[in-house]
């Protein structure tokens, strides 16, 4: 994404052109960025040849998942719906991991029938439920146990998952009990220790700490885990020139760990694969001068893109046509929804803009469309995949008749 002749451009197409053909709000994804991200992710961890399972919850567009599948990735799913999408996108069941704290019997039965690679259980009750269902089907099912390593991921509180006050995983005491329990079970086959300490992690140190904790726990449990699932969480830089995760150091820490434990590593990245491939184009409906500041009211809202309202996340927000006239007044970019949290970002200075201009919100490929809703009976935006100068509609804009 860059300005060419003052026009903001994704691959070889300007957002102006996209909006003219497909209207706004519209999600646009860059195919080549997706490809580059996957290539880089693989390169960063080449020396440990992990199984990479894309976290489907970050972007549930089946066409995107199909592209990701073509690069050989598996899937990490957290619901039956996501499992269905992953299978329909062509991901082989032997590359699918099922995570989540609240899998229902229906979901577990479906996962077992589809012969997925691994179910990562997060409680004693869940292990016993999987065991009961497996027994009724006369099967032995491969499971992992998610450990809560009580490690602070040093990320936003709302997306931290590896501290003891978080609902995820089991503590060390329960973990040891479950290892013992599984050893004596005829219907669950404990293959994996899994962790996932949070999202948007930019510091390698929490990962190092997490590996130290796992190391101790494996030694103490005296059990040979064929797989270690380290989850996802690798952060991206949402702002220019911000800190980047040091993949080298993370990988080095894993290699050190693998010298002691001969396991295969699984990753479940979401954001780091799709976060920066997505852009949301939106049109300015009104500019309202409220004295101290201007409210820039967009046709995109929190129902289309929820991260700012949900986590206070800040995303680069750019005019699709650049000029050099700076307005020295606060501009607050908001949506039309009847909630005060329906705001995206504000700037002390922004370039001169007017009603009907186009605004692009950047890095919305992860937890963008997948978190969208129909709040205020607003149809969901169209999704487009851009490859060079080609634009593919990968999901149509919802119509009012779909909603009413």
Contact criterion met (CB below 8 Å) for 302 and 345: no
**Of 195 and 296, CB closest to ligand PLP:** 195
Annotated catalytic residue, options 192, 251, 338, 362: 338
CB of 270 to ligand PLP, least distance (A): 3
**Of 153 and 280, CB closest to ligand PLP:** 153
**Of 237 and 330, CB closest to ligand PLP:** 237
CA 178 vs. chain centroid, Å, equals: 29
CB of 60 to ligand PLP, least distance (A): 12
- What contacts 193, CB < 8 A, 6 or more positions away? 144, 145, 147, 214, 217, 218, 225, 227, 228, 229
76: three-class secondary structure by DSSP: strand
**Of 100 and 319, CB closest to ligand PLP:** 100
Tell me the backbone φ, ψ of residue 258, rounded to 5 degrees: -75, -15
Contact criterion met (CB below 8 Å) for 307 and 271: no
CB of 189 to ligand PLP, least distance (A): 20
> Which residues share a beta bridge with 358?
283
CB of 35 to ligand PLP, least distance (A): 18
**Of 10 and 366, CB closest to ligand PLP:** 366
What length does the chain have? 404
Look-up of token digits 């190092």: 208
Question: What is the token pair recorded at 391?
Answer: 């634009």
Question: What is the token pair recorded at 233?
Answer: 């969480």
Contact criterion met (CB below 8 Å) for 302 and 40: no
Catalog residues that contact ligand PLP under the rule CB under 6 A.
55, 57-58, 76, 99, 196, 199, 231-234, 268-272, 366
Q: How many angstroms separate the CA atoms of 333 and 241, rounded?
A: 23
Q: How many angstroms separate the CA atoms of 149 and 53, rounded?
A: 21
Catalytic-residue membership of 338: yes
The catalytic residue positions are 338
């Amino acid at each position: 994404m860059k300005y060419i002749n003052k026009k903001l451009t994704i691959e070889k197409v300007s957002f102006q052109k996209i909006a003219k053909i497909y209207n706004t709000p519209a999600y646009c994804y860059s195919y080549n960025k997706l490809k580059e991200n996957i290539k880089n992710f693989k390169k960063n961890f080449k020396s440990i040849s992990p199984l990479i399972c894309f976290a489907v919850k970050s972007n549930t567009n089946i066409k995107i998942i199909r592209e990701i599948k073509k690069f050989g990735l598996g899937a990490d799913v957290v619901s039956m719906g996501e499992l269905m999408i992953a299978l329909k996108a062509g991901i082989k069941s032997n590359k699918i991991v099922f995570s989540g704290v609240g899998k229902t019997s229906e979901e577990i039965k479906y996962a077992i029938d589809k012969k997925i690679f691994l179910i990562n259980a997060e409680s004693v009750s869940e292990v016993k439920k999987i065991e009961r269902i497996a027994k009724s089907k006369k099967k032995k099912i491969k499971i992992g146990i998610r450990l809560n390593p009580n490690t602070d991921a040093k990320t936003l509180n709302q997306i931290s998952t590896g501290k003891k006050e978080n609902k995820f995983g089991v503590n060390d005491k329960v973990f040891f009990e479950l290892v013992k329990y599984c050893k004596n079970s005829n219907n669950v086959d404990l293959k994996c220790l899994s962790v996932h300490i949070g999202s948007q992690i930019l510091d390698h140190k929490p990962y190092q700490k997490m590996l130290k904790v796992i190391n101790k726990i494996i030694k103490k449990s005296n059990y040979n885990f064929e797989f270690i699932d380290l989850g996802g969480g690798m952060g991206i830089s949402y702002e220019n020139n911000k800190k980047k995760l040091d993949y080298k150091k993370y990988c080095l820490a894993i290699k050190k760990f693998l010298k002691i434990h001969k396991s295969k590593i699984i990753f479940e990245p979401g954001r780091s694969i799709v976060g920066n491939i997505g852009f949301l184009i939106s049109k300015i409906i009104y500019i309202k001068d409220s004295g101290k500041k201007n409210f820039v009211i967009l046709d995109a809202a929190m129902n289309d893109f929820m991260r700012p309202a949900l986590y206070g996340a800040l995303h680069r927000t750019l005019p699709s046509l650049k000029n050099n006239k700076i307005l020295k007044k606060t501009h607050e970019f908001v949506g039309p929804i009847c909630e005060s949290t329906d705001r995206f970002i504000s700037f002390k200075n922004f370039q001169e803009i007017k009603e009907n201009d186009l605004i692009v919100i950047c890095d919305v490929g992860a937890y963008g469309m997948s978190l969208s809703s129909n709040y205020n009976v607003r149809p969901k935006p169209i999704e487009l995949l851009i490859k060079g100068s080609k634009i593919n509609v990968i999901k149509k804009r919802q119509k009012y008749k779909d909603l009413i």
